[in-house]
Amino acid sequence: MLCEKPLALSTNNVKQLIKLSDKHNVKVGEAFMVRTHPQWLKSLEIVKSGELGEVRSIQGYFSYYLTDPDNIRNIPDFGGSAILDIGCYPITTSRFIFEEEAIRAIALMDIDPEMKIDRLASVILDFPSGQSIFTCGTQSVDYQRMIFFGTKKRLEIEIPFNAPNDRQCRIFIDDGDLFARNLITKKFDICDQYTIQGDAFSSAIIENTEVPVPIEDSLNNTALIEAIFRSAKSKKWEKPRL
């Protein structure tokens, strides 16, 4: 069962899915298609190689403009929320690149006065190896970017989430020269990230191997999302609760 992200609105719901999947021997995965896209797999490979040095900081942004109150993304009862709809991407990819779980989170949110959803959120995630800082918004100009800062170089993913299926994707690597004189551009063959995701999930079923984004990973992601919402209310650092 391949479930659209976010997998659930609470850790309790994810735990119920884990119990049911174990009981009925059903593979369950969360549809974070970015986790199987070649540009993300290559970025992780570069980070792990040490080319960037020690990655200590991640910066992300993801936004679009949508004010239709009947759209599911703007209905709180259905999970309408900037964090739940798009903030979940810099959360999961930060965990993916650091290969660690965040220790704590702090967040600031702007709530739409009529639709009662967070329409703008800025978050700091504290990891053992460094920090991830991102902003997401549902009433802002369309934009997205993820940047990874190491002690030697930085890596930037041009279109990290809505990777196009009709043109090449690109990532950029530079050594800190402010005029980008040593910029390296890596291009990726045209592909459809949803097809790749579906094929990878199907292979896990056929070959009885781990799915790309297992449900246990989703539990950690959901716990971090819950901590972010608690922080927005408490105005304090909050730790994920499993």
List 63's β-bridge partners, or say none: 137, 143
What is the average per-residue pLDDT within 7-14?
Answer: 95
- Pairing between strand 184-188 and 131-137? unpaired
Rounded to two decimals, the pTM is 0.96
Interacting residues of 14 by C-beta distance below 8 A, sequence separation 6+? 7, 8, 215, 218, 219, 222
Q: In this predicted structure, what is the pLDDT of residue 122?
A: 98
Interacting residues of 204 by C-beta distance below 8 A, sequence separation 6+? 27, 29, 210, 211, 212
Question: What's the first-to-final CA gap in the chain, in angstroms?
Answer: 23
Interacting residues of 126 by C-beta distance below 8 A, sequence separation 6+? 102, 103, 104, 105, 237
Strand boundaries in 66-130, DSSP class E: 104-111, 118-126
Between CA 71 and CA 55 the distance in angstroms is: 38
Give the pLDDT confidence of 26-75 residue by residue, as tens digits.
Answer: 999 999 999 999 999 999 999 999 999 999 999 999 999 999 999 999 99
- For 108, the token pair is 């600031």
List 62's β-bridge partners, or say none: 136, 144
Q: In this predicted structure, what is the pLDDT of residue 45?
A: 98
> At 1, is the pLDDT very low, low, confident or very high (cuts 50, 70, 90)?
very high
> At 85, is the pLDDT very low, low, confident or very high (cuts 50, 70, 90)?
very high
Q: In this predicted structure, what is the pLDDT of residue 16?
A: 96
Q: In this predicted structure, what is the pLDDT of residue 193?
A: 97
Q: In this predicted structure, what is the pLDDT of residue 109?
A: 98
Give the pLDDT confidence of 89-146 residue by residue, as tens digits.
Answer: 999 999 999 999 999 999 999 999 999 999 999 999 999 999 999 999 999 999 999 9
Mind giving me the DSSP string for 214-227? BHHHHHHHHHHHHH
Q: Which residue ranges form the domains of the chain, and what is each CATH number?
A: 2-234 (3.30.360.10)
Average pLDDT, the chain: 97
Q: In this predicted structure, what is the pLDDT of residue 64?
A: 98
Phi, psi of 82 (to 5 degrees): -65, -45
> At 189, is the pLDDT very low, low, confident or very high (cuts 50, 70, 90)?
very high
Give the pLDDT confidence of 140-153 residue by residue, as tens digits.
Answer: 999 999 999 999 99
Order of strands across the sheet that contains 184-188: 104-111, 118-126, 131-137, 57-65, 139-149, 154-157, 169-174, 184-188
Q: In this predicted structure, what is the pLDDT of residue 89?
A: 98
Between CA 111 and CA 98 the distance in angstroms is: 30
> At 182, is the pLDDT very low, low, confident or very high (cuts 50, 70, 90)?
very high
Between CA 169 and CA 186 the distance in angstroms is: 8
- For 164, the token pair is 């196009």
Give the pLDDT confidence of 159-176 residue by residue, as tens digits.
Answer: 999 999 999 999 999 999
Kindly list the distances between the CA atom of residue 102 and the CA atoms of 37, 134, 231, in Å, as whole numbers in the listed order. 23, 14, 14
Between CA 8 and CA 223 the distance in angstroms is: 11
What is the average per-residue pLDDT within 215-242?
Answer: 97
